[in-house]
């Protein structure tokens, strides 16, 4: 096989879908079509069932990071008094609001309501309260308590379900149109089908060599975040799945000559995603699984086909990021076994403390208890001012040398 990397064809379709998604949302601004801004861990199925277009400031912030405009947006937010220690997604979001600078022409459409779920972090709580002050629109808040044990308590599931019921009632009252229960159940069903497709695609990366890597999955994550609960999302992931099957049959490797298989923990470093992909590929290291893209195909162990809303509540309590270290250690070890990993790359993300907290302890446990090495990259998902090329390159090269020595 050639050492030249073969691009994923579906990427073109994904760009078309996301361009259409943001374009149509922007065109609907000021019309009767309602817009909601929602956190990435929010119950989007309820919005789609209500005929409301969801917009994700986090997804938009990642786009700003990938297009390398996040630094200027963060600086604009800091000039307004926001601390540099605040999440760079939030600073990017506020900076875009103030400057109108965005990969989306004219910036994101203004919201008619806000939906915040704290299953990803507590920063979103204050972030969305500030958005409420800026736009003066209703805010629905879903509290998903942090889970310290290995299993989710039934009382917590009931607690979250009750909040989802209040949100359903509240949206119906707000816009004078109750949400149809049958349409909601249908939306939940197709959301779960899309998640199952994304889970199947992720599972294909267990193949040797992997047909796609984690840097790719960070990009192809966009539809499952923004379009979960739509037929278009299913259509896209069926296309991507079929392409992955084709790549496996043809022996097309994401990293030609794959020698090492690694996992990635935490969000992407958006402004360096291509450079890091190339750096690891040169070292014949394929990052074949990531805890972040995997979280969007999470399905709670609890299932009840006769109570879809309670099942949805169990899922929105969250997987990896909303659980303690013992749970995370178990997840990482499962990834080692399933994907035949030689080690982990851990992004110690200064912007995402909920994700980064405990990573050094996890790395210690993985090495001391299980003999699995980890590389720690200290950075930020969006703010390049926290990045050092020299430090990162030195650490990556040293880690790859360690893996080579272990192989020999």
> Going by C-beta distance under 8 Å and a sequence separation of 6 or more, which residues neighbour residue 72?
95, 99, 101
Nearest to residue 270, comparing CAs of 13, 49, 23, 74? Answer: 74
Q: How far is CA 46 from CA 82, 128, 327, 341, in A?
A: 32, 18, 29, 37
* pTM of the predicted structure, to 2 decimals: 0.94
Spatial strand order of the sheet with 343-349 comes to 285-290, 260-265, 343-349, 374-379
In the three-class reduction of DSSP (H, G, I as helix; E, B as strand; rest coil), residue 187 is classed as helix
Complete domains list, the chain, with CATH: 10-407 (3.40.50.11900)
The reported pLDDT for the residue numbered 383 is 96
The reported pLDDT for the residue numbered 1 is 47
Instruction: Decide: 92 and 326 in contact? Cβ < 8 Å.
Output: no
Backbone angles phi, psi at 140, to 5 degrees: -100, 125
The reported pLDDT for the residue numbered 2 is 55
Per-residue pLDDT of the chain (408 residues; tens, 9 = 90+): 457 889 999 999 999 999 999 999 999 988 999 999 999 989 999 999 999 999 999 999 999 999 999 999 999 999 999 999 999 999 999 999 999 999 999 899 999 999 999 999 889 999 999 999 999 999 999 999 998 888 888 999 999 999 999 999 999 999 999 999 999 999 999 999 999 999 999 999 999 999 999 999 999 999 999 999 999 999 999 999 999 999 999 999 999 999 999 999 999 999 999 999 999 999 999 999 999 998 888 888 888 888 999 999 999 997 789 999 999 999 999 999 999 999 999 999 999 988 998 999 999 999 999 999 999 999 999 999 999 999 999 999 999 999 999 887
Cα separation, 116 vs 86, whole angstroms: 17
Cα separation, 148 vs 66, whole angstroms: 34
- Average pLDDT of every residue of the chain: 94
Cα separation, 144 vs 318, whole angstroms: 8
Instruction: Decide: 78 and 112 in contact? Cβ < 8 Å.
Output: no
In the three-class reduction of DSSP (H, G, I as helix; E, B as strand; rest coil), residue 345 is classed as strand
């Amino acid at each position: 096989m050639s050492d030249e990397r073969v691009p994923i064809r579906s990427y073109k379709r994904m760009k078309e879908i996301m361009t259409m998604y943001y374009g149509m949302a922007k065109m609907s601004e000021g019309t009767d079509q309602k817009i909601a801004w929602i956190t990435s861990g929010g119950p989007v199925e309820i919005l789609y069932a209500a005929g409301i277009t969801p917009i994700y400031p986090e997804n938009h912030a990642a786009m700003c990071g990938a297009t390398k405009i996040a630094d200027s947006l963060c600086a604009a937010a800091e000039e307004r008094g926001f601390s540099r220690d605040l999440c760079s997604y939030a600073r990017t979001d506020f900076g875009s609001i103030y400057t109108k600078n965005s990969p989306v022409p004219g910036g994101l459409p203004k919201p008619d309501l806000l939906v915040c779920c704290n299953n990803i972090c507590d920063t979103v709580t204050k972030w969305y309260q500030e958005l409420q002050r800026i736009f003066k629109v209703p805010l629905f808040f879903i509290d998903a308590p942090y889970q310290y044990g290995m299993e989710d308590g039934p009382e917590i599931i009931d607690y979250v379900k009750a909040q989802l019921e209040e949100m359903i009632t509240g949206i119906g009252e707000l816009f004078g149109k109750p949400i149809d229960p049958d349409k909601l159940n249908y939306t939940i069903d197709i959301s779960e089908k899309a998640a199952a497709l994304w889970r199947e695609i992720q599972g294909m990366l267990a193949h040797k060599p992997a047909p796609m890597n984690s840097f790719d999955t960070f990009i192809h994550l966009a539809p499952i975040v923004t379009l979960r609960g739509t037929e278009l999302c299913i259509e896209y992931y069926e296309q991507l799945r079929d392409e992955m099957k084709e790549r496996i049959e043809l022996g097309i490797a994401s990293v030609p000559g794959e020698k090492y298989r690694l996992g990635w923990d935490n969000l992407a470093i958006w402004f360096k995603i291509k450079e890091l992909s190339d750096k690891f590929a040169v070292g014949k290291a394929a990052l074949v699984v990531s805890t972040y893209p995997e979280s969007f195909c999470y399905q709670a162990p609890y299932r009840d086909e006769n109570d879809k809303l309670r099942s949805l509540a169990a899922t929105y309590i969250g997987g990896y990021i909303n659980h303690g270290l013992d749970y995370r250690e178990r997840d990482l070890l499962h990834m080692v076994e399933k994907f035949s990993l030689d080690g982990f790359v851990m992004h110690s993300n200064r912007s995402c403390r909920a994700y980064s907290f405990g990573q050094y302890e996890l790395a210690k446990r993985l090495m001391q208890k299980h003999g699995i090495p980890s590389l720690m990259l200290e950075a930020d998902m969006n703010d390049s001012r926290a990045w050092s090329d020299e430090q990162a390159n030195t650490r990556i090269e040293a880690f790859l040398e360690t893996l080579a020595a272990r192989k020999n």
